[in-house]
Chains A and B, each alone.
Chain A
Amino acid sequence: MTNYRQAKWASDYLLEPLVFEMGKPGRSGYTLPPKLHEQLKIPKNLLREELELPELSEVEVVRHYTRLSQMNYGVDQGFYPLGSCTMKYNPKICEELACLEEAECIHPHQAEGTVQGALELMYRLERFLAEIAGVERVCLHPSAGAHGEFVAMLLTRAYHKLKDDGGRTQVIVPDSAHGTNPASAAMAGYEIVTVPSDGRGRVDLKALEAAASEHTAALMLTNPNTLGLFEDKILKIAEVIHGVGGLLFYDGANLNGILGKARPGDMGFDIVHFNLHKTFSTPHGGGGPGAGPIGVKGELEKFLPVPVIEYEEKNKLYHLNYDRPHSIGKVKAFYGNFRVLVKAYAYILLMGAEGLSEVAEAAVLNANYIMRKLSNVRGYELKFDSSGPCKHEVVFSVDPLKKETGICAKDVAKRLLDFGMYAPTYYFPPIVSEALMIEPTESEPKEELDRFVEALKDIAEEARSNPEKLRSAPTSTAIGRLDEVKASREPILSWRMYRKQAGR
């Protein structure tokens, strides 16, 4: 147990006032240079009369958001074993480089001759990622993983359409898949066919064969899957899907576990997506911005969004090419989350080929270490194949503890917060009851893993000796458990709505 205490401010029932409740009329936190005094011709029906924003000095703004930051937990504070999210350490040098004036202060419409550095960096990053995943061409545009998946589904449709194969209306998704997979495919207009996992926690091949047909547009697969297990029948899976004329999409969320060890392209995948904010260490920023580039093999290249970056050997210039008749067009403004791309580029150079496979080795060893250590702790069990190794993450079930004491995965996760650690992903994947999905990443030292296993052991003991303590956890955090039911039943989504409800 630690003496972890998260900071909180203000009074007993208010951690920190809302910015709207602070400040005084007339205060301001900005300065502006003198403006020109031109007669503006804005018609009256478009002129604003009032605007209710806070009025704060810079000092108050700085204190308020600094205090809020102290009520937020990040990788820089401690262990963040959030499964499938790859919460690894984010090197500071990458952040510093992304904040250079030459990265922040360039405009996407600038003449190409004035942004050659940006184009070169992106061109090179595309090639690094293509080599890492074993694909031919990479597009850096998508803003996040789910965006990459959606774009991949648009490419899938363009591919089948060009073949005049309009009957392919279905996308197959395993029941262990991330929720974004079926959601992205549905957004692109596909009907979802779910295939179950087998007793070993892998795609049930028989079910897959039965589901695959001339209606199959694609299979979306994560490998290693969300149980942290490698889909070792992947070549057979590829054969089944390609056999019926479908495409194979690789969800790159779990790429960290096989970096430099195996490549999706070599496994038969046709389209791959990357989560640069996971595998390539650009931070998550509390939910974003990330970047979700996609990579494709041969035939699919012509459908990629515009523009693509090309290098003209003749005049040694990088160039944005929009002249792509088969392109699906645009999927967002401009060319991708450039500052995120700078960070990923720097990270890959810092690690090199040798470093990236070390990452996979250290991350996988850490996960296996937890798997073996924790499987000796009474109360937690592995539901699927535990004979072989896991990859980057491991999923335990709290079923035995629940049966014995009534304490569930959520209680365990919440109690972990009191130990100064973030919680694992819980209740996911849905095929494991009372799931705790643990991804330690390569960033954790052995001592921290030991402390984590000890904490789970202590918690299991507490479940037997003092279950109430667990149900009321956490108590070391800025606030205890929240009334999330009320929050969704009577939603208060803005200061406006709050004032209306409070009659203020």
Chain B
Amino acid sequence: MGFVGHPYIPNTREIREQMLREIGVASVDELFADIPAKIRLRRKLKLPGPMSELEVKRHVHEILARNRPFTKMLSFMGGGVWPHQIPSHVRELVRRSEFLTSYTPYQPEVSQGMLQALFEYQSMICELTGMDVANSSMYDWSTSLGEAALMCSRVTGRRKFIVPALIDPERFSTMQNYVSGPGLELIKISYDQGTGQLDISQLRKELGDDVAGVYVENPSYLGFLETQVDEVANAAQEAGAIFVVGVNPISLGLLKAPGDYGADIVIGEGQPLGNPVSFGGPLLGIFACRNEVKLVRQMPGRLIGMTTALDGKTRGYAMVLQTREQHIRRERATSSICSNEALCAVTAAVYLASFGPRGLRELGEACASNASYAMRKLRTIRGLKVPIFDAPHFNEFTVNHDDIGMSLAKLNAGLLKQDIHGGKPLRGEFPELGEAALMCVTELHTKDDIDRLIKALEEILG
């Protein structure tokens, strides 16, 4: 297939010849003459293609057919990214090419649509989290956490940051990389073996005047709720540390806004708000804080603000406080983030506008209720301990398999044979929990689905 008259390159050979003549250049090669001969590539790149659209379509279909989508089996996978229903109109709207093919709204006059949609996203995240200010997105939860730790340190001038020991180890690893520049010290606080709750006395011991921030998650990585948030908030406040809370926003139709129990910064993973799981990317890092000048001026990422046109009357939106950002401040910027996850944020806005307060509450109840039913049924199976921690849970929970007389790997393999994808093994992450798995249940699971899991487990375990 040739490239004369290629569908993506409108200028044909003839037109290009004409253009070259018009600007007095003998050949296209002359335009590359400034590349030293020594580094000029003298051969074709070794790549397959070019292929026609039809061939590419067939080829990609063929490769991807080697995936087994969770829509075609019964899956209980969560752990940082969660399958939910995505209404068709949400998908349809965010695929509109006016959004899809635009750049960062540097020219607000022709980009009001994107700017307003992002302002609405920021606003709805504020309502969910109880914060006043939200940025227009970070890459994902884990990078939001890294940036939050850095921000706490900038705001307080302190160099220690406290996290719970039961944090997702991959999220922790990302944070370690983020704070490695200024060399912040990360301290893990242990938990009550029975309930998973943060060890408040250890927290109080560690909370000196050198601690920049205290971080908890609600729901936690392992699905249980951290119920002592008021104590944590008080302890942090007394020590002059910033209180950071990580959330799954789907829970916030049901659960209290972290701002209402003292959070200063709220972060989280916005993927479940209408964004597909997509093998873990793209995701949507939530980042919000209270409206205090010392906080807002240290925020990372883009902020969209409401203003007026120069007529002073017509309402409009623009990127604001850009002096925090890399393109103005260079090495003194609050972060290097430039491209973010804007379209995922617009998706979240459309999703939240569709569900509204009632929908989000119902959704939260459905997730928690279905998970609660799953836990209750799983407890009927001999040898399973469900959940490991005696605490309220949202839609994820842990299962201990020490007493089933079979390895978790073998059990999961058996389930997979019946088109059921069991929980995520946790042995590599938390060996102290034994042969444990993390399971996720959402509104996608019906009673029949859960009963099917139970039946399959009973069969496999005899």
Contact = CB atoms under 8 A, between A and B. Distances in A.
Contacts of B325: 179
Contact of A388 (B34, B180, B225): B34
B32 A389 contact: yes
Contacts of A30: 87, 354-356, 359, 363
Given A116-B66, A373-B23, A356 B45 contact: yes
B9 A362 contact: yes
Given A104-B276, A355-B50, A497-B133, A18 B120 contact: yes
Given A47-B255, A103-B64, A488-B305, A147 B342 contact: no
A457 to B, nearest CB: 16
B111 A495 contact: no
B229 A46 contact: yes
Interface string A137-171: 00000011111011000100100000000000000
Interface string A53-84: 11110100110111111111111110010100
Interface in B359-385: 359-363, 365-366, 368-370, 372-373, 376
B331 A192 contact: yes
A285 B126 CA distance: 23
A243 interface: no
Interface string B157-191: 00000000000001101101110111100000000
Given A102-B65, A288-B282, A40 B372 contact: yes
B342 A48 contact: no
A382 interface: no
B202 interface: no
Given A42-B225, A183-B333, A65 B117 contact: yes
Interface residues of B, number: 212
Contacts of A207: none
Contacts, number: 745
Nearest to A29: B354
Interface string A324-354: 0000111111111111101001101111111
Interface residues of A, number: 208
A206 interface: no
A38 B373 contact: yes
Interface string B68-105: 11111001010111010101010111011111111111
Nearest to A54: B353
Contacts of A494: 119, 122-123, 126, 132-134
A234 B270 CA distance: 43
A400 B120 CA distance: 42
A89 B355 contact: no
Interface in A75-125: 75-77, 80, 82, 85, 87-91, 93, 95-97, 99-111, 113-118, 120-121
Contact of B416 (A56, A111, A131, A497): A111
Nearest to A105: B69
Contact of A95 (B100, B136, B326, B370): B100
B295 to A, nearest CB: 12
B9 A128 contact: no
5 contacts: A46-B261, A53-B128, A183-B329, A361-B31, A493-B306
Closest 9 pairs between A and B when the two form their complex, measured CB to CB: A334-B280, A352-B49, A72-B113, A287-B342, A352-B50, A285-B343, A108-B280, A117-B66, A189-B181
